[in-house]
Structure 1
């Protein structure tokens, strides 16, 4: 299915999921106040994998993989582990607002990769303008006054690397997802990734768990149940039906949610560079996905 096949109901669900995902960087910031980056990812996906597995058993959804599928899932799992490791470590250094905005470069990276790896999905002049605006918006973040210490800028680069891996994963999933059910493509990267997250926590987190309080517990549960369980399954279901380009046209909702919640809940500063990034990125997404309706040709 192509972009114009998305129904109003599917669009509304996509908007809701994007709002949930947009709040995730804020939840991660709360979580990282007491839990190491790798450990936080391990705990999150352990809970999420258990929830998804229980749901699959309840619904009697088949989980068995063929030999070919196992090889594909292992590739996807490797990308997943590196992507989430980068994202959590980057979020530990940057702000929730920056993390949310940089995440929105995803649709532009998806377009670029789709141009090379998905037949017929080429970059037009209009898409090129949108992509340029999106990257200009992200670039403006690296000149934000908050970056003077250098730590935030380092975190921004790491999050940007995570987003590139996320876009690579989205293209790869789109190429293989017809051979899977949604639960398989969501559950197995988590299962294979969990041991590596905890090993990373043991080796590289300063302290795996420094502090546990109700706020940190709620932040972990939000990431695990709301986004990693419900969110991932719903997202992959929509991806399977409507395609990467149609789905990622709604990504601009995530940074708007993330910036707003970062300011309201974390007291982050709304700077001119942040405003410029929002304008450029949102404008880029709108330009990329705007389609002029064709007027019907009158029948003579």
Structure 2
């Protein structure tokens, strides 16, 4: 079985997307756990952006090593540079400037839920950009069920409570940049190797993050102990693996068929935040899991 056959099959798409969403869902609690270890406070935006820069620069180095081991092209060509800059700006720099700032003002559960809105942005953008990826009634019903699950999961106090402040708006804007970056990556995937594209867009995006963060906090304001270093390396790994696999899925499938699995990110994020951060987890979240699963099934069920 070749890569295209596996990643376009129902089982291959579902298992790969679920694994990526598990990785990305775990980012919420591990970022929250890293902040107190490095003494990063909610109002210290430069430190938050710099920490993000560390993470994604290390992730790009991991992917760069993979390019070397698999003997893939390493040189950044003039033809590739505009695409790498464009995707790096949205999928790494802007998304994670907003994400790290937003998460510092939110709980892990709240951040997990709002970030799931990237699904809606992806499907809406695909509807207007691709003639073969339009909305239909089946997809609308699936999205409504999934969104209902996301809303129910937001009931962190046991009821449906959802308030928006700086953190929530930053996370929502981050989700839009995530969706747009995914669309841009899909458009360029036919011209460039997926891992090559992911490596260099992440490296370029992380250099902007490092520059912005260093202007306010210096280049090395943190004191890493063993635990903080392990968390940083794990966050870097999940970014390297997650973006490579996700962009590979987008290169072989319609945006809407892949993006619906974004609903799993808030599910994993909520459960892992409850487990690792000891945030309150109520029965209503388990109902949300059922709705999210139903939404995924309906959207991906092919017509007979």
Range into which the TM-score falls when normalised by the shorter chain: 0.7 to 0.9
Q: Which residue pairs with 1:232 in the alignment?
A: 243
Distance (Å, rounded) in 2 between the aligned partners of 1:271 and 1:205: 39
Residue from 131, 141, 162 that aligns with 2:143: 131
* Aligned-partner SS, 1:269: coil
Q: Which residue pairs with 1:39 in the alignment?
A: 50
Deviations 1:72-126 (A, max 9, x none): 2211122131111111111111111122222222222211110001122111123
* Aligned-partner SS, 1:179: coil
Residue from 13, 17, 34 that aligns with 1:14: 17
Q: Which residue pairs with 1:28 in the alignment?
A: 31
Distance (Å, rounded) in 1 between the aligned partners of 2:286 and 2:18: 22
- State the aligned residue count: 290
Distance (Å, rounded) in 2 between the aligned partners of 1:75 and 1:100: 26
Distance (Å, rounded) in 1 between the aligned partners of 2:79 and 2:219: 39
Distance (Å, rounded) in 2 between the aligned partners of 1:232 and 1:239: 10
Distance (Å, rounded) in 2 between the aligned partners of 1:207 and 1:51: 21
Is 1:69 equivalent to 2:45 in the alignment? Answer: no
Q: Which residue pairs with 1:186 in the alignment?
A: 198
Q: Which residue pairs with 1:160 in the alignment?
A: 172
Distance (Å, rounded) in 1 between the aligned partners of 2:165 and 2:142: 24
Unpaired runs of 5+ residues, structure 1, are 295-300
TM-score, structure 1 length as denominator? 0.83
RMSD: 3.2
Contact 1:186 1:233 in 2 (8 A): yes
Shift of 1:141: 7.2
Q: Which residue pairs with 1:92 in the alignment?
A: 104
Shift of 1:222: 0.7
Residue from 112, 115, 124 that aligns with 2:124: 112
Quick one: structure 1 residues 127 and 55, their matched pair in 2 at CA, closer, same or farther if it must change by over 3 Å?
same
Q: Which residue pairs with 2:44 in the alignment?
A: none
Shift of 1:62: 0.8
Shift of 1:143: 7.6
